[in-house]
């Protein structure tokens, strides 16, 4: 008994260090997505490219970042997190250096591919590692890790915007590309996976969780996986559209440079909105992850998606008011970001921790599917205005709230009840083996 406690003691302290490292690494790739909107109009002004042409690079980035995560996560599950993050650090540095030198659209698109590969390597590794180290607090751990990605751009929005204004977007790409990559590279050498199976402690909450571990080839054939996937796509589509287009929207609403004063701070509406969006996004991910640990994943999804629909409606009808624009977009991102904590946690609860990196990576490709709709938002806005775009996003969020509570919840509970190993096998340490043998693992 003493030997077991001694073996588990290092993990109890080490896992918090691993969580912090993952959060910082995620913060260093945040600008690849959330800082992109600052570069769109300066690039257009320099080269004469249209917004839709430039935003295609954003779509390529998100698709590459997400759809390759299962492959990158497989390497993590097999070889550990360190080597994958080292590779990712090199790629994100190279991507922004290429962006700084891009004079033709194919170069911009090539850089987006490189950036997506690098960001996906880091994102999939850090989230998967958190799920493995924290089986007892998956919602909180995944949320805190994802918060680094959501809020990481908050501290750098103003410096990047200032550098673009003072010395050009090329200099901002190059400087921040080198800095972000260097820090991720340094931290990668401290990452590691658990050396023994982490066991969830007994909880006071009643969240359906499997004690089995299902391999990806089994998971991808399950209807419950695709129910999660569809729900993820519906919510991610509206969020990605807003993240990519927030600067063009503010400019089309003629409020980008209008001063806004809130809580003793005064900034231009666009800068204020982006900064506050990142803060709320970062806070929302661990907050809703924590809430989901208490009241359940699907109930939390329903609550968050409903609030998102309300905020998007406000932006559609009253977004030309700079104060409404700043506050409504901030609250929207505060509830939107929770998909990046709740879905990985739900995936881990449903399919186990042993293959959590790969399984969550497969689910994360839903973000790439949703990104395919981002260029369409620019086309729809040009034809029908931003009101039409927001209304589509409102419908998708309302539909996702319904799916989460009335379709996903019973499907997931039924799957866990059907595949849960018998208690006698669990106590003998054979639960995972039995589940893998019985369910294609």
pLDDT in tens, 5-52: 444 444 567 888 999 999 999 989 988 887 888 898 899 989 988 887
Q: Is residue 169 within 8 Å of residue 35, measured between CB atoms?
A: no
Whether residue 195 is predicted with pLDDT greater than 80 in this model: the reply is: no
Whether residue 198 is predicted with pLDDT greater than 60 in this model: the reply is: no
Least confident of 174-183, 352-361, 430-439: 430-439
Query: Mean pLDDT throughout 337-360?
Result: 87
Whether residue 425 is predicted with pLDDT greater than 60 in this model: the reply is: no
Percent of the chain with pLDDT over 90: 42
Q: Is residue 40 within 8 Å of residue 249, measured between CB atoms?
A: no
Least confident of 70-84, 112-126, 397-411, 418-432: 418-432
Query: Mean pLDDT throughout 246-262?
Result: 89
pTM, two decimals, is 0.74
Alpha-helix residue ranges (DSSP H) falling in 134-168? 138-151, 157-167
Confidence of residue 199 (pLDDT cuts 50, 70, 90): low
Confidence of residue 431 (pLDDT cuts 50, 70, 90): very low
265-268 and 259-262 strand pairing? antiparallel
Q: What is the pLDDT of residue 434?
A: 43
Nearest to 194 by CA among 128, 115, 268, 288: 128
pLDDT in tens, 288-307: 888 888 889 999 999 999 99
CA angle 228/234/235 to nearest 5° reads 90
d(CA 292, CA 3): 34
Query: Mean pLDDT throughout 105-115?
Result: 95
The residue with greater pLDDT, 437 or 183, is 183
Confidence of residue 88 (pLDDT cuts 50, 70, 90): very high
Confidence of residue 286 (pLDDT cuts 50, 70, 90): confident
Q: Whole-number mean pLDDT of the chain?
A: 84
Whether residue 375 is predicted with pLDDT greater than 60 in this model: the reply is: yes
pLDDT in tens, 382-415: 788 888 889 999 999 999 999 999 999 999 999 9
The residue with greater pLDDT, 401 or 148, is 401
Beta bridge mates, 266? 261
The residue with greater pLDDT, 194 or 191, is 191
Q: What is the pLDDT of residue 197?
A: 58
Percent of the chain with pLDDT over 70: 90
d(CA 239, CA 248): 15
| The two three-digit tokens of residue 339, written as one number | 């998909």
Whether residue 322 is predicted with pLDDT greater than 70 in this model: the reply is: yes
Whether residue 428 is predicted with pLDDT greater than 80 in this model: the reply is: no
Query: Mean pLDDT throughout 185-208?
Result: 70
Confidence of residue 422 (pLDDT cuts 50, 70, 90): low
| The two three-digit tokens of residue 296, written as one number | 């359940």
Query: Mean pLDDT throughout 96-105?
Result: 93
- How many Å is the maximal CA-CA distance in the chain? 70
The DSSP string of 361-378 is HHHHHHHHHHHTTHHHHH
Structural domains present in the chain:
8-194+210-438 (1.20.1250.20)
Whether residue 70 is predicted with pLDDT greater than 80 in this model: the reply is: yes
Query: Mean pLDDT throughout 133-146?
Result: 82
Please count the helices (runs of H) and the strands (runs of E) in the chain: 21, 2
Mean pLDDT: which of 142-156, 200-214, 323-337 is highest?
Answer: 323-337
């Amino acid at each position: 008994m003493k030997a077991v406690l001694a073996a588990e003691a290092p993990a109890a302290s080490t896992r918090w260090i691993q969580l912090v490292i993952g959060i910082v690494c995620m913060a260093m790739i945040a600008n690849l997505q959330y800082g992109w909107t600052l570069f769109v109009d300066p690039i257009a002004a320099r080269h004469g490219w249209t917004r839709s042409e430039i935003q295609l690079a954003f779509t390529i980035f998100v698709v590459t970042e997400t759809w390759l995560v299962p492959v990158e996560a497989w390497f993590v599950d097999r070889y550990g997190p360190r080597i994958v993050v080292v590779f990712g650090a090199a790629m994100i540095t190279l991507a922004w250096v290429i962006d700084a030198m891009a004079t033709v659209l194919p170069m911009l698109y090539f850089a987006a591919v490189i950036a997506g590969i690098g960001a996906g390597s880091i994102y999939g590794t850090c989230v998967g590692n958190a799920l493995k180290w924290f089986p007892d607090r998956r919602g909180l751990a995944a949320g805190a890790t994802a918060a680094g990605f959501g809020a990481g751009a908050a501290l750098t929005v103003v410096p990047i915007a200032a550098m673009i204004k003072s010395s050009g977007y090329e200099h901002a790409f190059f400087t921040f590309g080198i800095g972000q990559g260097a820090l991720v590279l340094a931290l990668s050498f401290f990452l590691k996976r658990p050396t023994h199976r982490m066991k969830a402690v007994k909880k006071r909450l009643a969240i359906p969780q499997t004690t089995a571990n299902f391999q990806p080839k089994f998971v991808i054939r399950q209807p419950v996986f695709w129910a999660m996937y569809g729900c993820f796509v519906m919510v991610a589509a509206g969020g990605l559209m807003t993240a990519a287009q927030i600067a063009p929207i503010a400019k089309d609403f003629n409020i980008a440079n209008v001063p806004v004063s809130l809580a003793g701070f005064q900034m231009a509406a666009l800068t204020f909105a982006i900064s506050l969006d990142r803060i709320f996004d970062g806070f929302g991910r661990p907050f809703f992850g924590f809430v989901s640990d208490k009241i359940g994943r699907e109930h939390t999804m329903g609550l968050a998606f409903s609030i998102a629909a309300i905020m998007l409606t406000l932006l559609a009808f009253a977004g030309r008011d700079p104060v409404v624009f700043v506050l409504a977009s901030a609250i929207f991102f505060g509830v939107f970001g929770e998909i990046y904590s709740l879905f990985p946690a739900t995936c881990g609860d449903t399919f186990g921790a042993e293959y959590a990196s790969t399984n969550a990576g497969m689910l994360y490709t839903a973000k790439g599917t949703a990104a395919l709709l981002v260029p369409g938002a620019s086309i729809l806005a040009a034809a029908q205005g931003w009101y039409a775009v927001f209304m589509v996003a409102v419908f998708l969020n309302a539909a996702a709230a319904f799916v989460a509570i009335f379709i996903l919840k019973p499907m997931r509970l039924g799957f866990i009840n059907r595949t849960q190993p018998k208690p006698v096998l669990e106590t003998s340490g054979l639960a995972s083996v039995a589940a893998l043998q019985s369910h294609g693992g």
